Amino acid sequence: GQQVMQIPQYQHVQEGEDFTTYCNSSTTLSNIQWYKQRPGGHPVFLIQLVKSGEVKKQKRLTFQFGEAKKNSSLHITATQTTDVGTYFCAGPGGTSYGKLTFGQGTILTVHP
């Protein structure tokens, strides 16, 4: 069935360094979503990408959807301590219509 793989599992950076997490699917995705979960909190929607090759920016965050719509990435420029948390990608998956399948998440730690 549909699998969404996310790497790396953990990333430790110094404040000011860049960070990237990658999401790969075994099948073509109609769209992909990204969520952020702060420590002790719940996942919060960040963005959805739909078009092949799409690039969207939110301040220091850049989201990309691959040309083949099988992979995606989230890049954070000049990380800040407020970026700490777990970043999840999610795509349609499984046999149930509308079901989202989440990647395992990347836990980002930012050292001041």
Partner 1 sequence: GAGVSQSPSNKVTEKGKDVELRCDPISGHTALYWYRQSLGQGLEFLIYFQGNSAPDKSGLPSDRFSAERTGGSVSTLTIQRTQQEDSAVYLCASSFLPRGGRTDTQYFGPGTRLTVL
What is the binding site for partner 1 (CB under 8 A)?
A: 30-31, 33, 35, 41-45, 48, 50, 86, 88, 90-92, 94-105, 107
Nearest to partner 1 of 77, 84 (CB atom) = 84
Task: Provide the minimum distance between the beta carbon of 104 and partner 1 in the complex, in angstroms, as a whole number.
Answer: 4
Nearest to partner 1 of 5, 55 (CB atom) = 5
Task: Provide the minimum distance between the beta carbon of 96 and partner 1 in the complex, in angstroms, as a whole number.
Answer: 4
> HSE (CB half, 13 Å, CA atoms) of 58?
12
d(CA 99, CA 48): 15
Neighbours of 77 (CB within 10 A): 14
User: What are residue 83's phi and psi, to 5 degrees?
Assistant: -85, -10
Nearest to partner 1 of 18, 98 (CB atom) = 98
Task: Provide the minimum distance between the beta carbon of 78 and partner 1 in the complex, in angstroms, as a whole number.
Answer: 26
Residue 109 CB contacts under 8 Å (≥ 6 apart), including other chains: 10, 11, 12, 13, 84
